Structure 1
């Protein structure tokens, strides 16, 4: 949906918010310019900080299922503009957050949940387990975040 179409839908009362998942942070500013009042929700975990700084008012999130405390802390710091807290946390979590934009995001989140002691379990068909090399990447990133005290 283009920003112009979103503005039209907002103007006629058809929508009140939009989940922004394009990865193009510039859209947040364009949407705010042509549809002031349309709530923007972060729709991809790996652009949380950028969209929060651009005025997003919510987060439709995946990775907080695995790391709720640190993701909540990141979100609150981001929307309040507390970059001293948000930026180091975002850098630490970003190798995991970027899985949200990959086809194996459910598998990655569930593996991270298991590693964090929050049962995620196996995915159901049609999803397949992570390939061993992808699992190793998620495992290493999750273990690093947990070792840093983020959960």
Structure 2
């Protein structure tokens, strides 16, 4: 599975009747590929996977698979509240022909480190697909500890970790550990330049729903060693990225899709739409962006 480049955990568009808008989803996939992304992640957190019923999940995964047409890497988010639920979702992605999986520690149950290792090992044993672990303690309440990552990296089809802890010292320790056959992937949009400087060339970015072409250009600039360009691109996007990271991330990711001429619609409860004033402020910030 190729992970170099920007991979977009794509939003799930909803129409005015709160139904999944597969036409808008197809248009987003096409727009992102045209702008140079290296992959699409379906049913991730930015895709509001937790708000989809099982039929809708199948529709979204199948729609993205059909839209991609093998042109870029295709990853399915397979998070579940239990290990068995994650395994079922992994098998669903396998059946649809996905290239790989992204999997976080189960939320709410607060497993210990030995239980986290057992969770990932059990899912890995149940699927032939490569797995990118997702470390986002702010979302799930626990971190995949450093030693747990080292242990899990020895499993052949656990191939990397999306590092979204926000602690770059931890990320750098993982990068410098040089774990064989294992990749550290940028999962903090506001730290992307730091990850790139230290040799990371893969970025799973919710912000790429807003800036797919610009973020792909950042990866290319890093590959060419053009750090002035990396800095320029990051500086331009940073106010918007910081606004997204400050709160209402999903709502702002969907608003940002309007840059591509596509209406991704509202978020689903438990999230609520941005108040009009906040939406207008974010739209003004987007309009101020200059490449």
Instruction: State the TM bucket, normalised to the shorter chain.
Output: 0.7 to 0.9
Specify the alignment match of 1:15 in structure 2: 158
Measured at CA, do residues 44 and 99 of structure 1 come closer, stay the same or move farther in structure 2, by a change above 3 Å? Answer: farther
Q: Secondary structure at the match of 1:118?
A: coil
1:61 aligns with 2:205: yes
Contact 1:67–1:116 (8 Å) recurs in 2: no
Contact 2:153–2:179 (8 Å) recurs in 1: no
Q: Identify the structure with bigger relative contact order (alpha carbons < 8 Å, sequence gap 6+).
A: 2
Structure 2 length-normalised TM: 0.46
Runs of at least 5 residues in structure 2 that lack an aligned partner in the other structure: 1-143
Specify the alignment match of 2:192 in structure 1: 48
Structure 1 length-normalised TM: 0.82
- Cα displacement (A) at 1:122: 1.4
Runs of 4+ residues deviating >3 angstroms = 78-81, 99-103
- Cα displacement (A) at 1:103: 4.3
Contact 1:48–1:75 (8 Å) recurs in 2: no
Contact 2:164–2:186 (8 Å) recurs in 1: yes
Contact 1:6–1:35 (8 Å) recurs in 2: no
Hey, which of these two has a bigger chunk of strand by percent? 2
CA distance in 2, matches of 1:78, 1:96: 21
Structure (1 or 2) with the larger CA radius of gyration: 2
Question: 2:236 pairs with 92, 98, 102, which one?
Answer: 92
1:106 aligns with 2:254: no
**RMSD of aligned C-alpha atoms?**
2.2
Runs of at least 5 residues in structure 1 that lack an aligned partner in the other structure: none
Q: Secondary structure at the match of 1:11?
A: coil
CA distance in 2, matches of 1:3, 1:35: 13
Hey, which of these two has a bigger chunk of helix by percent? 1
